[in-house]
Amino acid sequence: MMKQRLGVFIGLILCIIITTGCWDRVELSDRAFDLAASTDLMEDGSYLTAAQFIIPSRISAGASGEQPYFIETGTGKTLLEAIQKTRQKLSRIITRGHRRNYYIGEDLAKHGIGELLDGFSRDPGNRIRLDIWVVKGGKGMDALKVHYPLEKIPSIASVKIHRAVGGTTATSYLDFMMAASSEGSSPTLPVVDIVQGAAPQETIRFYGRAIFNHDYKLVGYLNFVEGAYRQWILKRISYLDLAEEIPEAGGNVGVIVNSFGSKIRSSVSEKNKVKMEIELTGAGHVAENNTNLNLNKGKNLKLVQNELNKKTSEHVLAMITKVQKQFGTDVLGFDQVMNRQHPAQWNKIKGQWNTIFPNIEVSVRVNINLKYMGLVGPPLQYKESEIKK
């Protein structure tokens, strides 16, 4: 028994010895923690990099009223030179292990981000669970400068907003690289833009998705709702608001969908004619009723569900057609569906996918089941005599 206790004691001592201090001999007081960064393309073709660094002494509760971060920049003909110019202004070694967001200006996104991604993939200091954002209509550094009142560190806001509206976070860098390396897929990135908040203050807003081609150049955007439909198809959404006019009832109904399903069935003919049948399912509840319908009545609820499903099906199909005809890039995972369901045919046509994808025949069927109507069925703003029962 005594020997066992002695062994445990010695083990604890050894653990303390080998875990004390920094393995790479860089103390915390010698590190500059990069929480977010950006890169922009300047008019002369040079790069502007910027990073948001935390000021540890101002994070504590006693340091309220002072900005707990600062932004440092660097410019250069190459990305590495621009980063080096930033390092020359810092008294500490840059540590990127806590970086969560990287913002890319629209001009750079249109020019192409191949060089940026090459640097990312070679630097072991970059987190794989990183979110890369395109700043629509602006520069990456604009997003770093926006003051966001709900967060001490403004760069955290993008991630939290994206999560709050039902999106997935900490995946965009990995998803981009996987799509870029796939035979038929094209990559996308989430998008923010800078809008007017409480005057005169600007704020950051989640906009949608940025669509890239195989040369890693921005070719266009999907707005918030279009991006949500795409995420629904890919099973990457957890929350969605929908509102549709109900012509037979002289008003609109708003619903919140919080359960999602997606099935895609594909077929390919001997002449390489590809068809996709998409079935989207969901469950939710009525959030507002601006019609004269009593939704506690089964026939009225069915009327609303049918109209909602019909119009949502049309909206999703319009988004898919936009991607096919306007962008010509498969950001919908159709290539993966073909690879799973028809591997032999896929091996024959994957080299022609860029020309096949815009002409795929697509059908969409949405089936949303409304399970909860709220505390009242009839709309309160109507008199009892005006309500359809």
In this prediction, residues 123-133 reach a mean pLDDT of 85
Residue 385: its pLDDT value, please?
47
pLDDT tens digits along 142-164: 999 998 888 888 888 998 998 88
Is residue 381 over pLDDT 60? no
Do 325 and 179 have their domain in common? no
pLDDT tens digits along 287-336: 998 888 888 888 899 999 999 999 999 999 999 999 999 999 999 999 99
Q: Which residues pair with 261 in a beta bridge?
A: 281
Is residue 4 over pLDDT 70? no
Is 69 inside any structural domain?
yes
Q: Between residues 349 and 291, which one has the greater pLDDT?
A: 349
Q: Between residues 109 and 247, which one has the greater pLDDT?
A: 109
Of the candidates 169, 190, 222, which is a domain's last residue? 222
Q: Which residue is associated with the tokens 């002449």?
A: 271
Of the candidates 169, 201, 222, which is a domain's last residue? 222
Return mean pLDDT, the chain: 87
In this prediction, residues 325-349 reach a mean pLDDT of 96
User: What are the b/e assignments for 114-129, b being 16+ CB within 10 Å?
Assistant: ebbbeebeeeeebbee
Is 11 inside any structural domain?
no
Do 203 and 330 have their domain in common? no
pLDDT tens digits along 158-205: 989 988 888 888 888 889 988 888 888 899 999 999 998 776 789 999
In this prediction, residues 54-61 reach a mean pLDDT of 75
Query: To 5 degrees, how large is the angle CA 353–CA 358–CA 360?
Result: 85
Is 10 inside any structural domain?
no
Do 160 and 257 have their domain in common? no
Q: Regarding beta strands 274-289 and 251-268, do their DSSP bridges make them parallel or antiparallel, or are they unpaired? A: antiparallel
Do 51 and 98 have their domain in common? yes
Inter-CA distances, 103 with 138, 140, 191, Å: 10, 5, 9
Total domains in the fold of the chain: 2
Q: How far apart are CA 174 and CA 169, in angstroms?
A: 11
Q: How far apart are CA 389 and CA 375, in angstroms?
A: 17
User: HSE-up of 326 (CA within 13 Å, CB side)?
Assistant: 12
Burial of residue 330 (CB within 10 Å: 0-12, 13-18, 19+) is buried
Confidence label for 242 from pLDDT (cuts 50, 70 and 90) = very high
Q: Which residues pair with 49 in a beta bridge?
A: 39, 74
In this prediction, residues 221-244 reach a mean pLDDT of 95
Is 266 inside any structural domain?
yes
Do 279 and 308 have their domain in common? yes
What is the residue range of 312's domain?
A: 232-389
Q: Regarding beta strands 31-41 and 101-105, do their DSSP bridges make them parallel or antiparallel, or are they unpaired? A: parallel
pLDDT tens digits along 268-279: 998 889 999 999
In this prediction, residues 216-235 reach a mean pLDDT of 97
